[in-house]
């Protein structure tokens, strides 16, 4: 039975959600269309909204309501218990940061994102460097405020993937590295006779938009509750109930770049659209972690979108939109899609090499946070690690340390969730097929409803009722394991 304190927490969460969703809308607008001269005031707007939401949540009354609800001990509903668990965890962290700190961080972030976009476009690290200095310092201060036992990166990682620690990720990545390198080398050798130019040509952007939208709709993305726009870096923003926005970027010479950007973001979007709408303002209605979120995007992008069966179905529609593809056989498209070789850009990397991009970023950003690596040393460090990991010489920073938006967003601690997501995607996909073999037959025919229904029941509808590993265990019967991902890579590439 809900107490008055619990009801007060619900009402406060609903009020905070109005600020947060408005801020998310302004953030989307900043990435897709804000005039350059509007940036300064936009930074103030985001700082104001972030500060107001923080003030509302860190109000001592909220702490009293949480404690009162906990003391009652009369809650048995899993949703109510999850809300209390998440409110307690979030409140205990939030009160360690002042409203002034939140406002300062929002201003720094807004200016840094704009500087990053310009820096990447002009291939000039010096434009972004002073902003990244501020980003690192604000994250170091945040880590110190939150507190940690072993490494300051722990405090940041916890915000994206509950229960994870730097040492855990170190051990996971150290264990994966040898197998990933072996798979990557073998996959590149196998792909040696596959042309890297097969998917190059003249692909009008308006045709790409129509093709991408048709596939996204077939996957189950609701365009009455969402849209696709263009941005420097693809992303998904679950702004509010009935409003989930995706972005991609276009290359008129390579339609696969925007396509796989959309398929990745559609995975995020399907998760957002599948969360319980009536619980939007409360913790139980939110995605539980970035690792779980990435498991959805990587599942649809790779296990569905890169499977040979995908192109066996979609090849005729691709030819319809891009007549020049008549010169390429279905088998050549499949071969090109599964082609593997070391490459510079993470979001365009093949599955066999992708996780090495993540491990590289993890090693760099934890050293930035610890202070072992200075911002001025970043390009040189990046280039040296890239040569070590991939055997490639980075010729410009736009293809190197400037390629990702995450650091400009202040999102240090985010990158490990991509590989955690890969592990989850493989495990969930294998279990879905085991539970309902008819899913495979549907996928072969370009029908995706059974797979989406399984994910809706097992993952999306759960929100944050279960913590990440408990959610994976509940859906698959076991804790998260790297074995499914490695088996998938070996099967697909070797």
Residues identified as active-site: 265
- CA-CA distance, 355 to 223, in Å (whole number)? 31
Buried b (16+ CB within 10 A) or exposed e, 282-302: bbbbbbbbbbbbbbbbbbbbb
- The CA radius of gyration of the chain, in Å to the nearest whole number, is 22
- CA-CA distance, 434 to 431, in Å (whole number)? 5
Angle at CA of residue 423, ends 418 and 425, nearest 5°: 85
Residue 401, CB-side half-sphere exposure with 13 Å CA sphere? 23
Give, in order, the Cα–Cα distances in Å from 167 to each of 149, 163, 356, 363: 11, 12, 18, 12
Q: Do 484 and 423 touch, CB atoms closer than 8 A?
A: yes
- What φ, ψ does residue 355 adopt, rounded to 5°? -65, -25
- CA-CA distance, 178 to 481, in Å (whole number)? 17
Sheet holding 226-230, edge to edge: 226-230, 243-248, 236-240
Tokens representing 234?
A: 């693809």
For 218-340, strand residue ranges (E) read: 226-230, 236-240, 243-248
Q: Do 191 and 198 touch, CB atoms closer than 8 A?
A: no
Which residues lie below 8 Å from residue 478, measured CB to CB, with a gap of 6+?
427, 472
Tokens representing 397?
A: 């920073």
3-state DSSP assignment of residue 178 = helix
């Amino acid at each position: 039975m809900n107490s008055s304190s619990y009801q007060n927490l619900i009402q406060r969460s609903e009020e905070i959600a109005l600020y947060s969703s408005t801020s998310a809308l302004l953030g989307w607008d900043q990435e897709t269309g804000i005039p350059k001269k509007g940036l300064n005031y936009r930074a103030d707007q985001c700082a104001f909204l972030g500060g107001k939401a923080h003030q509302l949540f860190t109000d001592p009354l909220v702490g009293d309501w949480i404690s009162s609800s906990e003391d009652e001990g009369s809650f048995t509903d899993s949703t109510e218990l999850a809300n209390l668990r998440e409110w307690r965890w979030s409140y205990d962290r939030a009160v360690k940061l002042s409203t002034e700190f939140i406002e300062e961080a929002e201003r720094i972030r807004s200016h840094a994102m704009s500087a990053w976009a310009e820096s990447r476009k002009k291939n000039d690290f010096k434009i972004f460097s002073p902003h990244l200095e501020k980003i690192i310092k604000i994250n170091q201060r945040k880590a110190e405020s939150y507190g940690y036992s072993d490494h300051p990166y722990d405090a940041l990682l916890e915000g994206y993937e509950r229960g994870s620690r730097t040492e855990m990720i170190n051990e996971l990545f150290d264990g994966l590295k040898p197998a990933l390198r072996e798979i990557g080398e073998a996959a590149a050798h196998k792909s040696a006779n596959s042309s890297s130019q097969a998917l190059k040509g003249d692909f009008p952007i308006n045709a790409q938009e129509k093709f991408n939208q048709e596939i996204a709709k077939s996957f189950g993305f609701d365009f009455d509750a969402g849209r696709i726009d263009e941005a420097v870096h693809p992303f998904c923003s679950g702004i509010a109930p009935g409003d989930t926005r995706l972005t991609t970027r276009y290359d008129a010479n390579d339609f696969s770049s925007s396509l796989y950007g959309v398929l990745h973001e559609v995975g995020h979007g399907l998760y957002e659209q599948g969360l319980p709408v009536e619980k939007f303002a409360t913790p139980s209605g939110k995605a539980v972690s970035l690792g779980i979120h990435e498991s959805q995007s990587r599942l649809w992008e790779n296990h569905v979108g890169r499977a040979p069966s995908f192109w066996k179905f979609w090849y005729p529609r691709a030819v319809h939109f891009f007549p020049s593809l008549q010169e390429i056989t279905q088998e050549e498209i499949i071969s090109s899609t599964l082609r593997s070789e070391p490459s510079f850009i993470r979001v365009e990397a093949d599955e066999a090499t992708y996780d090495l991009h993540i491990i590289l970023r993890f090693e760099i950003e934890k050293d930035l946070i610890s202070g072992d690596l200075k911002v001025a040393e970043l390009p040189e460090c990046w280039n040296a690690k890239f040569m070590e990991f991939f055997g490639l010489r980075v010729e410009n920073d736009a293809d190197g340390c400037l390629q990702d938006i995450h650091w400009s967003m202040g999102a240090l601690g985010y990158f490990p969730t991509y590989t955690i997501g890969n592990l989850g995607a493989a495990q969930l996909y294998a279990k879905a097929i085991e539970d309902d073999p008819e899913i495979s037959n549907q996928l072969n025919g370009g029908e995706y409803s059974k797979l989406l229904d399984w994910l809706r029941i097992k993952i999306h509808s759960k929100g944050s009722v279960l913590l990440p590993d408990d959610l994976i265990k509940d859906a698959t019967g076991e804790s998260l394991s790297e074995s499914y991902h490695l088996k998938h890579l070996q099967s697909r590439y070797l």
